[in-house]
Structure 1
């Protein structure tokens, strides 16, 4: 049976971030994920998780200066020291929150940087982060993101991300398979899930969902999620599936799709 985690950065916008934990628990979620928790003390978030009997499935390492357009630091040649500091901060949060999975964003393609050189920076930074994360018992995931929502993002294709993981050949670096992003960039979802779930040196470390093309509830749009949920179960995936979508209206009212899976 699939296990679903509410993404509190996108779901429950009718509540403050602090209030969203209780709202998700009230709706039957046993786990949550979110993007960037750093404006709140880790101890406060840990209390919210404990008070609502919630598991933290995933969060992101700091992305750099989001307001100025940065979308991750891992591949940026001129931000290597900043990237290292961001991993220190993320691992400190993970230690306090008891979280075992961290998404490291690659960043945008740099127009003034050679693509091969940027890729080498990315590989070296991921190896650095993975070593520290492994010491803390934490797995890293990297995510291909579609170019419509995030133009010029460094990773766009599942095979591209899987190749990075295969080249690194590190046991705690895998791919975050976001079905919404994959549908927009590539399609052929079931075939890619079958192909990548069983890879020896890479594989799928986390899954996220949203309806396509509008990123609302997964029962809206062009993706047959009931079929994919059964396939994911059959392939032996036991991790959390993050619901990273923007509710069309009230979040709780839009969860009719979830009731048969809880």
Structure 2
């Protein structure tokens, strides 16, 4: 491992799933981590306050900080991959916007991931694109009131056949379009290096070219989505490149552990697991401007 200042967090929606949700923050802390992230952890977009309070208490009692949260993405286990572009689910997404933003803000979390949503049979791409744009603008406006950034993620088509955003180029085009045409400044790219590598992208080259535009990073090894060291990627080179090219956010561990979760961190020395503040004051990665052209495909 490089001796770098990268900050790591554990995604509690995919790690420590051997335990009930409310026990996972403490398990992450016991493994040496001080930062965690989550997919939307509730079955409804606007859960009872007692459920929000219980999760908030579990995170704070463990001494951990929430650093990333997904907006409600639907039934992920059943194949949903977001709501914001889907006409039948748009109202659910909008119900969730302020709930997710306020919950994140209550824990000091400033990164919210908005999964785009699967393509819908009988609905044109342009209709879904226009709806997605409307909902991303709404989400970003809500996030801006608490100083948060909305991030957009590309997924791999091998496991997410109906998800339309499958490359860093497409995701960055959407970010550019929203920034330039809709003047949305608090939107950025979530670089999930597992999904991008599965699509054949050179993640090291991506880091070298675009690290300053990342609003968040997530990692897992390829092709099995296990912890670093169980697959094909050169993690020393990738993580060193993130540091060298100035990435200042968190690196989210979003892998399916090979073996028990607590035994899957040997690749990361314990001294590297505790994290401080992700960014120096005033250096939100989403504030980085771009001069790259916006492709017609995202208009």
Query: TM-score, normalized by length of structure 2?
Result: 0.82
Task: Name the counterpart of 2:64.
Answer: 54
* Cα distance in 1 for residues equivalent to 2:30 and 2:224: 26
Q: Counterparts in 2 of 1:103-118, with a 5 A limit?
A: 103-118=113-128
2:191·2:217 contact (CA, 8 Å) conserved in 1?
yes
Q: Is the 8 A contact 2:13 2:41 kept in 1?
A: no
Distance 1:182 1:60 in 2: 19
State the shift of 1:95 in Å: 3.0
Counterparts of 1:15 and 1:142, CA distance in 2: 29
Following the alignment from structure 1 to structure 2, what is the Cα–Cα distance between the partners of residues 156 and 88? 27
Count of matched residue positions in the alignment of Structure 1 and Structure 2: 258
Question: Partner of 2:193 in structure 1?
Answer: 179
Q: Distance in 1 between matches of 2:116 and 2:226?
A: 25
Counterpart among 104, 129, 142 of residue 152 in structure 2: 142
Change (3 A) 1:96 1:37: farther
Match of residue 243, structure 1, among 236, 239, 253:
253
The one-character-per-residue Cα deviations of 1:11-48 (angstroms, maximum 9, x if unpaired) are 12332222211111111111011112225722222212
Q: Point out the more displaced range, 110-119 or 77-86.
A: 77-86
Q: Tell me the residue number matched to 2:211.
A: 197
Partner of 2:37: 33
Question: Corresponding residue for 1:258?
Answer: 268
Gaps of 5+ in 1: none
**Partners of 1:70 and 1:28 in 2: CA distance:** 32
1:1-150 residue pairs with structure 2 within 5 A?
1-38=5-42, 41-66=51-76, 69-150=79-160
Contact 2:70 2:114 in 1 (8 A): yes
More divergent stretch after superposition (63-72 vs 102-111): 63-72
What do the CA deviations read for 1:114-163 (whole angstroms, capped 9, x no partner)? 11221121112111111111112211011000111211112111010100
Structure 2 CA distance for aligned equivalents of residues 232 and 45 of structure 1: 31
Query: Using the alignment, how far apart are the partners of 1:25 and 1:83 within structure 2?
Result: 31
What's the TM-score, normalizing by structure 1? 0.93
Indicate the residue corresponding to 1:153 in structure 2: 163
Q: Aligned Cα RMSD in Å?
A: 1.7
